[in-house]
Structure 1
Amino acid sequence: MSNAAAANAAAPPTAPAWSPDRFQEQVGELVATSLAWIQSNWLQLAIAAVIAVLIVGALHWVRNWATHRNETKPDSTGWAAILRRAAAKTGNFFIIMVAIKLVEGYAYAPELLTSTVNFLFTIAAVFQAAIWAREIILGMVEARTQGDHHGEALGSAMGIIRLLVTFALFAIALIVVLDNLGVNVTGLVAGLGVGGIAIGLAAQGIFADLFAALSIIFDKPFRRGDSINYDQTFGSIEAIGLKSTRIRAFTGEERIISNKNLLEKEILNNTRRDHRRHKWTIGVIYQTPPATCAAIPGILKDIVEANQGIFIRAGFVNFGASSLDFEIEFDTAGPDYATFYDVRTAIGIAILQRFNDDGIEIAYPTQTTFTAAPDGTLVMPYASVQPVQDVGHSGGEEAPARG
């Protein structure tokens, strides 16, 4: 016998290709095996059937209860509401397969029937898990944005999030099912990865602004209507879109900036201030008596508290070129700029009025020139002149002038 003939004789027979006859034969074998199993295990099957009916009823009751609660309290949030929302999405196919799986395990089904039940149960469980995961993720996202007023941006974002989450979860579920069927999914996973990278590189600018918009919606650094400033721009948020944010500047014009570029800057949210603070430096002349200088911080404190300000500190800070410098810091409660503006104006005018009343002179840049004699002693900058004495007129005679 040749080597080729020996090799062919030693090789195991290959499984025949699928054909209608082969399929019909397997179905017939499954039916015959199942009937024989039922005849020999009817008592266990009866008990298992009762248990299965109870399980199906219990799962249906849970689903109906969750659906009813969601309809009566549609705006409720929290983990309980999210779990009820997921339970309401439990499918009939999954419920039936859970019951059959328990019956099959209790009654010791034949191997062929067990394989069929395991296959169907795997499909039902994997896709039901994907549905539950989707509802839980979307519920958490909606709970995180509950009460926000992002308008169309939030609606569009939720649509995109729902699409991405659904695609990702069901793609994973499909891969798990195929892997359980013995299909080699390595090539499929690699293809999905390469395709995702290609799409990401082609639309990286769009995706960068999109995810920046989602970050604004979920992280909430600001909301529509907030007053912010970044770089040299001051304005209020008018709209937050998926691509850009529109800001109405205080000078009147509308400024549009991409979400990605906006989040890369330092943003000051003035609407979330708990107070506004102002600091002034006030200079008085060097001729001010020390006792008066010592009283100035107390005077400034009284003025701030009398004009709805919140006094922080006041004191002497510097010997200036033309003044003795005092500093005052005060706050106004809340973020309202108009209130802060009015309080600051009232405090400034009150300081000016009080200083005038007490004779405290506010300094301004001055310069004094002194004249020195040849020996270095200071002299008056002008000659001594005898004043003219006016003795009036007497008898029509004019008094002589003396100089």
Structure 2
Amino acid sequence: MEDLSGALVKLQEYLNYVILGIPLYRLALALLVFFSFLFLRKLFIFIILRYVRKLTRKTETKVDDIVFRVFSRPASFIIVILGVALSLKVLGIENSAVFRVLKTLGIFVVFWALYNLVVAFEEYFYRFAERFGREFAREVGGFFIKVAKAFVLVVGGVAVLQEWGINVSALLASLGLGGLAFALAAKDTAANLFGGLTVLADKSMRVGDWVKIGSVEGIVEDIGLRTTKIRSFEKSYITVPNQFISNQPLENFSRREVRRIKMTLGLTYGTTKEQMVKILNDIREMLRNHPGIAKDQLLMVYFTDFGESSLDLFIYCFTNTARWSEYLAIREDVNLRIMEIVEKNGSSFAFPSRSVYVEKLPKPEENA
């Protein structure tokens, strides 16, 4: 009995041994609590999550599968944070800064899950945006997604600041001149935001359109909250503020259904009247019957001017396609047929030239 009591005394001495101001038994108990929560996390993952996953797979809707996938990892991380918090309680650590850090981590996990939820439901945002028109579902849906992400980030940031005792509204009010500068800076941001809303509401352009805004021309790659991204034909990446777009004329080349052919041809002055009339009629007939020329658009072929070195023909018509490659193929075929018509009628194309007439040559003796 004496040996047993002596062992208990020694054990008590060991357990009461102080390391960094903390008794050894508290350290052991804190470790036990922490590892118990790690075990609980494993149990949560392998039993509860598997059971919930089986239930979600049996349902017809995909919403519960998305929610499960989004919240499974944050939930397991929350268990670890709770384990750390209780372990610190057992150790007797009552430092408010430490627990604020843990609460901040908890807030971060919650808003991390909400942010991932927005990402996971992107498809549903696009489906909702189809109510505004299928043609602009991508642009409107992308706009809603960016607004939702920004909202989650802003609210999460405010929640973290509030946790650390920072009153955001009072902070902005106390900035004085800094708050005024912030408001002035935010003015442009708000103008760009409403400019983006105006672009989407007017449906003036969409991703993939070929547009010209002021001196900027290219293909629209993204319509954002603040800016619109355009890829120029030189492959440079241009970022245009939405405020600029809403205040500038916007030319959308992709919205046209036809493309114009406009040219002036010069025939030689040796072309007779009969040849000219025949050439004009043949070109008109060719264009009217050409499969690539729009029949419901304006078509003009006229002898317009006596040029310095040519008889000028004006040709004006439209192709029945707006696609650039098809337009070039049609225009090439039209040019070749015009060449054939001119050659067939015995005329030729003029080129810039100038004739010099010498009224009187000097006598040989005058040159001596």
Could you state the TM-score of these two structures normalised by the residue count of structure 1? 0.46
Query: If the length of structure 2 is used for normalisation, what is the TM-score?
Result: 0.50
Larger relative contact order (Cα-Cα within 8 Å, sequence gap ≥ 6): 2
- Mark the structure with the bigger radius of gyration: 1
Structure with the larger helix share: 2
